[in-house]
Structure 1
Amino acid sequence: MEYRNLGKTGIKASLLSLGTGGARQFGQTQGHTINKQKQLIEKAFDLGINLIDSSSNYNNSEELLGRCLTGISRDTYHICTKWPARDKSGRTITDPDTLTEAIDSSLTKLNIDHIDVMMLHGVLPEEYDLIVDNLAGSLIDAKTSGKIRSIGLSTRFSVDPAQQGALEALEKHPTLWEVLMVKYGILNQYAAKHILPLAQKHSVGIMNMAAVRVKLPDEKLLEELIEKWKTENQIEVDSLPSANPLGWLLNDEVSSVIDAGYKFAAEPKSISTVLTGTATLSHLESNVRYLENPRLNKIDSDKLKCLFQDIVEYV
């Protein structure tokens, strides 16, 4: 397992980190028992993973994760969790006491004495200033008191595919934010335009989320997407075959399109870690194996960039 600096946090993060959200929600959507979840955590640690991501709105992921971590030495792993500054009606929460209560709640559920990275979850560009003006003080206070070690935010890619929320953070308050969670992958490269270079300039750690979701690993959905982009003149009509459009990436070093997706996602040195949201032991082992060599050959990587680097779309 390769380890990279998580920005200026002092954390050496495993290149693959484990997420407890996404479609599987730490196995909750698949009916996994606590024993299966413990096995997943144990396997992750055995494979060298030392960073786990959660959120207060991933159903019971925080509480389940806390149960799985009971008895495991706290200095052997790092926890990132998140809180969405948004109420049930979708309005932005600006009450600092609500954030303080959320941090305390996460600490209790996770059964830990500090959170390594505390993020505001899914910050949109139109609410960025409002959130910082009202909530940054509570984050700083929590860090000063030792409840959290580092401050971060994640983007809401489904609504903000250009991830302007992260760009605002880097342009306006690069010293406040220590870690950002963004999406960067074969079909979603736009973060490389400005976000990744600025993060590297300011030593802000990047956690890469959903790098191979959703259409990349599904051959039918991928074929439909490529045909759509051809129709829209986003890519040249003859640039890729209609069937198995990314099959040319496979070779002795790349076993599948998913393998290629993980390698591409880890290529930039500004990427500190790539999240995987699997709840299956075999998938976890495969994803770790993909990143034993975390890069594609330069010709293939450059071709992917020429094809997709300017496309901004939620896929």
Structure 2
Amino acid sequence: MHYRELGKTGIRVSEVGFGAWAIGGDAWGPVEDQASTRAMERALELGVNFIDTADVYGNGHSETLVTKLLKGRRDQVVVATKGGLMGHHRDPKREPVYDASEKVVRAFEDSLRRLETDYIDVYFDHIWWNDPRETEAFVTAFSQLKREGRVRAVGVSTDDPEYVRHFNQGRTLDVVQLDYSLLNRKAEGHILPYCQEHGIGVVVRGPLRMGMLTGKFSQDTQFPDGDIRRNWPQEAWYQEQLAQVEALRSLASAKRSLGQLALRFVLNHPAVSVAIPGAKTPEQVEQNVAASIRPLLSEEDLRLIEQVTAGGTPA
């Protein structure tokens, strides 16, 4: 496993982390807690030290499972979690819950309780609303939590450059979490250059495009009930991205799977600190982690990737 600096935070992270959304059990189809725990244990054995979760994943269940990983080795794990969507998740018609910094701190403390720790390494605003009160509440709460030593770094989870710039007005934004993959290269146009310029760490979610870039999906794939991908096969973009994946398949080999190629691609960008593919089983973890030691992308690889995926990059 190779390690990188998380922006200017002084925190050193494995370049491949563990995305803990799926283990929450409410969005990615069937998952077993025992398998999830074994997957996280295997990740640590293979050198992963960055775990990303959120209060909304499984309504707190993901955070609770991560707790098992921290027992007796809290200082060995860099834990990132997020707040800001819980109220919306429970009731889409509700007004934003974070109209005051005290509520942000209360949500943070709920996460501390579930994680059974007295500090969080990286705390993100899980952005949803356009209400400016939410942003200001988080900015105020972030300052308090850092001052109290209960959080080491603060960030925002968003794909909107305006949010990133707004949060960084006082040059206090440490980390950005964003969607970036071979099939979604929009971040290359604005957010990634901005983060690189300002020394902001970058956590990449969706580096495998929710499994699409593993190459295991087809037109006949049927997703189970409870899986957020359930209706994908009926969407026009799904057929388009299947075709892109097929065009990239020639870059896979016995030494590097298509999924590992996809992870190497996002890790190839100089602004990226860590990619967080999800995993439900130890076997999936092993496939993801192996990307850290697979061959770097060649010029020929990059030329084909550009031909196939340049449409995902803004002019």
Using the size of structure 1 for normalisation, the TM-score is: 0.82
Q: Distance in 2 between matches of 1:183 and 1:244?
A: 21
Query: Number of matched residues?
Result: 289
After superposition, the C-alpha distances for 1:252-276 in whole angstroms (9 at most, x for unaligned) are: 5433x21221111211121100102
Whether the 8 Å contact between 1:123 and 1:154 is mirrored in structure 2 is no
Report 1:119-198 matches (<5 A): 119-123=124-128, 126-127=130-131, 129-155=132-158, 163-164=159-160, 166-170=161-165, 173=168, 175-198=171-194
Report 1:1-315 matches (<5 A): 1-22=1-22, 24-25=23-24, 30-33=30-33, 35-59=34-58, 60-71=61-72, 73-85=73-85, 86-87=87-88, 88=91, 89=93, 91-92=95-96, 93-123=98-128, 126-127=130-131, 129-155=132-158, 163-164=159-160, 166-170=161-165, 173=168, 175-214=171-210, 215-217=212-214, 218-220=216-218, 225=237, 228=240, 244-251=246-253, 253-255=255-257, 257-293=258-294, 295-311=296-312
The structural deviation recorded for 1:108 is 0.8
The structural deviation recorded for 1:182 is 0.5
Unpaired stretches in structure 1, ≥5 consecutive residues:
156-162, 230-239
The letter for the 2-side match of 1:204 is: I
Distance 1:298 1:38, change over 3 A: same
The letter for the 2-side match of 1:97 is: E
The structural deviation recorded for 1:74 is 1.9
Whether the 8 Å contact between 1:219 and 1:244 is mirrored in structure 2 is no
The structural deviation recorded for 1:63 is 1.4
The letter for the 1-side match of 2:114 is: K
Whether the 8 Å contact between 1:189 and 1:305 is mirrored in structure 2 is no
Give the 4+ runs in structure 1 shifted more than 6 A.
240-243
Whether the 8 Å contact between 1:66 and 1:109 is mirrored in structure 2 is yes
The structural deviation recorded for 1:152 is 0.5
Q: Distance in 2 between matches of 1:306 and 1:130?
A: 43
Whether the 8 Å contact between 1:262 and 1:294 is mirrored in structure 2 is no
Q: For structure 1, which segment, 81-90 or 103-112, has the greater mean C-alpha deviation from structure 2 after superposition?
A: 81-90
Q: For structure 1, which segment, 82-91 or 266-275, has the greater mean C-alpha deviation from structure 2 after superposition?
A: 82-91
After superposition, the C-alpha distances for 1:10-34 in whole angstroms (9 at most, x for unaligned) are: 1111011111104x4379953424x
Distance 1:122 1:310, change over 3 A: farther
Distance 1:213 1:25, change over 3 A: farther
Q: Distance in 2 between matches of 1:260 and 1:201?
A: 26
The letter for the 2-side match of 1:300 is: D
Unpaired stretches in structure 2, ≥5 consecutive residues:
220-231
1:237 matched to which residue of 2? none
Q: Distance in 2 between matches of 1:5 and 1:37?
A: 27
The letter for the 1-side match of 2:283 is: S
After superposition, the C-alpha distances for 1:53-84 in whole angstroms (9 at most, x for unaligned) are: 1100011111121133222x222111000012
SS class of match (1:201): helix
Higher relative contact order (CA 8 A, sep 6+): 2
Whether the 8 Å contact between 1:266 and 1:294 is mirrored in structure 2 is no
Whether the 8 Å contact between 2:40 and 2:282 is mirrored in structure 1 is no
The structural deviation recorded for 1:90 is 5.4
The letter for the 1-side match of 2:140 is: G
Q: Distance in 1 between matches of 2:180 and 2:196?
A: 15
The structural deviation recorded for 1:287 is 1.0
